[in-house]
Chain A
Amino acid sequence: MKKHLLSAADLTVDDVATLFTTAAEMHDVQHREVKKLPALRGRTVINLFFEDSTRTRSSFEIAGKWLSADTINIAGKGSSASKGESLRDTVMTIASMGVDAVVMRHGASGAALQVSQWIDAAVINAGDGTHEHPTQALLDAYTLTRRLGTLEGRHVVLVGDLTHSRVFRSNVLLLATLGARVTVVAPPTLMPAGVETWSKDVGFATSYDLDEVLPTADAVMMLRVQRERMSGGYFPTSREYTVGYGLTRDRLAVLGPDVPICHPGPMNRGLEIAADAADAAQSLVLDQVSAGVAVRMSVLYHLLAGEGGHA
């Protein structure tokens, strides 16, 4: 495994298998009375979040704490960054304190890569702009693997706001590595520019018609409509989006009761996913959250525990 986790493309099939095996063991810790493992004792992990996040940040924080690392959260808002300090100065300051890993979320695509070139500590990309979010892809694939057994040859359908989705980008890369057959579905306005060539390189299909794709799906991943990244004009009304691309009660019936449904959260209930689908027995939304802690423990462990782990 590489020193940093910046992109889902950094991971080989073997890396993923190792991470998942470890994650499964870490998962058991959640059910223990003493939720503490000593593996990262004396290591320091900084969660540096320049964008809002509840589940990712708390999930990394819990993961670090359960492995006995000292975990410190720094939010972009209210930090020196809001006083006009450059990203480089902020990061170099933190690195000078002697940290072992920086978990970073930033609004600019490529920010994590940039930071990894400045500092010595391991950098984990927890979302950079509309680029990537590799640990989300890992926990999605982990959750689906536990449900489906293997993803090899399985048809995974990703639906939603692809243009703004780093979850989509990391997911197609990882799912391709794991041998899944992937179709991504979005309205033409939310299909990223250049997807034609990229989809050929990575190996996934694109579609504008959800109803055509849904009957052959082995798993469905609904993506959030990211209103905060939209300046408007991507679709006429919310209602129209729901009719064309929402996982409605009717589409839930087409899926049947056995096809797992994922959503990275936070959900816009009634927009991209109906409450019936979000709360259905086949919905893995909460499994994803619980897997998130285990997968992030596994990532922190493999990046930091061994002799290559930064001390």
Chain B
Amino acid sequence: MPAPDPATAPDDPVTDARTVLDGSDINRALTRIAHEILERNKGAEGLLVLGIPSRGVDLARRIASRISQTEGVDVPVGSLDITLYRDDLRRQPARGPQHTEVPADGVDGKVVVLVDDVLFSGRTVRAALDALADLGRPDAVRLAVLVDRGHRELPIRADHVGKNLPSARTERVMVRLTETDGHDEVRIAGSWEGDAR
């Protein structure tokens, strides 16, 4: 991983967290991802954008609305909770599942774009694929993430990446979104900072 840039770090008094994507960076990345999805799919036909709670859902909505603006058609969007499909379910106290919401016509025959904020070990995506299989049989599943920080533990890769962010395993990548946190920002810190992943 790169050494902390002295020009930007530390911007947090407690930790050495520094900003790697600001609001306009995130904006541009999501717009690009939306266009990549359209290009790959040759239009918005059959698309279903599913976010993984919690921040993946907000990102999914933003990507879907950008696709809708570009193509002039409504793209269905939903959420896919993976809590019950996690492989570490019994390593921690039971957590309540979050909301899964899939449009009434289901996932069968759709091109599902899974959206998450950070791609790390790949275990979340593995769980999401299992959850999706219980809902039906999509024609194809693609993966879009805001940040790919490496360190995969499973053979999984993203189709659309906002930013590749080389990181050390011990580092924390924190995604802040206006919908949940009041502002848009992606930060990386060398030490633990609360709700990091």
A residues bordering B, Cβ < 8 Å? 18, 21-22, 25-26, 28, 32-34, 36-39, 301-309, 311
| A-B interface, 9 closest residue pairs, ranked by CB to CB distance from nearest | A306-B94, A305-B94, A306-B93, A39-B84, A22-B96, A25-B97, A37-B84, A34-B134, A302-B94
Residues of B contacting A39 with CB < 8 Å?
84-85, 89
Residues of A contacting B96 with CB < 8 Å?
18, 21-22, 25, 302
B134/A309 in contact, CB under 8 A = no
A308 CA / B84 CA spacing, docked (Å): 16
A307 CA / B93 CA spacing, docked (Å): 5
- Starting from the known contacts A28-B100, A302-B96, A306-B92, 18 additional A-B residue pairs (CB-CB under 8 Å) come to A18-B96, A21-B96, A25-B98, A32-B134, A32-B135, A33-B136, A34-B134, A37-B84, A37-B134, A38-B85, A39-B84, A303-B94, A305-B84, A305-B89, A305-B94, A306-B94, A307-B91, A309-B90
**CB 8 Å contact bits of B151-174 with A (1 = contact, 0 = none):** 000000000000000000000000
Interface residues of B in 93-111 (CB under 8 A from A): 93-100
Q: Contacts A301-B94, A305-B90, A306-B89; is A25 near B81 (CB within 8 Å)?
A: yes
CB distance from B89 to the nearest CB of A (A): 6
Residues of chain B at interface, number, CB under 8 A: 19
A307/B90 in contact, CB under 8 A = yes
Residues of A contacting B81 with CB < 8 Å?
25
Task: Tell me what chain A mostly uses at the interface: helix, strand, loop, or mixed.
Answer: loop
Q: Contacts A25-B100, A28-B100; is A34 near B94 (CB within 8 Å)?
A: no
A306/B90 in contact, CB under 8 A = yes
Most buried by A among B81, B92, B96: B96
Residues of A contacting B92 with CB < 8 Å?
306-307
Residues of A contacting B97 with CB < 8 Å?
22, 25-26
CB distance from B39 to the nearest CB of A (A): 32
Residues of A contacting B130 with CB < 8 Å?
38
A302 CA / B96 CA spacing, docked (Å): 8
Task: Tell me what chain B mostly uses at the interface: helix, strand, loop, or mixed.
Answer: loop
**Inter-chain CB contacts under 8 Å: number:** 52
Residues of B contacting A32 with CB < 8 Å?
134-135
A218 CA / B130 CA spacing, docked (Å): 43
Residues of A contacting B94 with CB < 8 Å?
301-306, 308-309
Partner of B134 from the list A36, A304, A311 (CB cut-off 8 Å) is A36
Q: Contacts A25-B99, A28-B100, A32-B135; is A38 near B93 (CB within 8 Å)?
A: no
Partner of A308 from the list B85, B93, B135 (CB cut-off 8 Å) is B93
**14 A-B pairs in the complex with CB atoms less than 8 angstroms apart:** A21-B96, A25-B98, A25-B99, A39-B89, A302-B94, A302-B96, A305-B84, A305-B89, A305-B94, A306-B89, A306-B95, A307-B93, A309-B94, A311-B90
A18 CA / B95 CA spacing, docked (Å): 9
**Chain B residue at minimal CB-CB distance from A28:** B100
Residues of B contacting A301 with CB < 8 Å?
84, 94
CB distance from B84 to the nearest CB of A (A): 4
A302 CA / B94 CA spacing, docked (Å): 6
A252 CA / B100 CA spacing, docked (Å): 38
Interface residues of B in 66-120 (CB under 8 A from A): 81, 84-85, 89-100
A28 CA / B99 CA spacing, docked (Å): 10
A304 CA / B89 CA spacing, docked (Å): 10
A25 CA / B80 CA spacing, docked (Å): 11
CB distance from A27 to the nearest CB of B (A): 11
CB distance from B109 to the nearest CB of A (A): 14
CB distance from B78 to the nearest CB of A (A): 12
Residues of A contacting B91 with CB < 8 Å?
307
A162 CA / B135 CA spacing, docked (Å): 44
Residues of A contacting B99 with CB < 8 Å?
25
Q: Contacts A25-B81, A39-B89; is A34 near B95 (CB within 8 Å)?
A: no
Interface residues of B in 127-157 (CB under 8 A from A): 130, 134-136
A284 CA / B104 CA spacing, docked (Å): 25
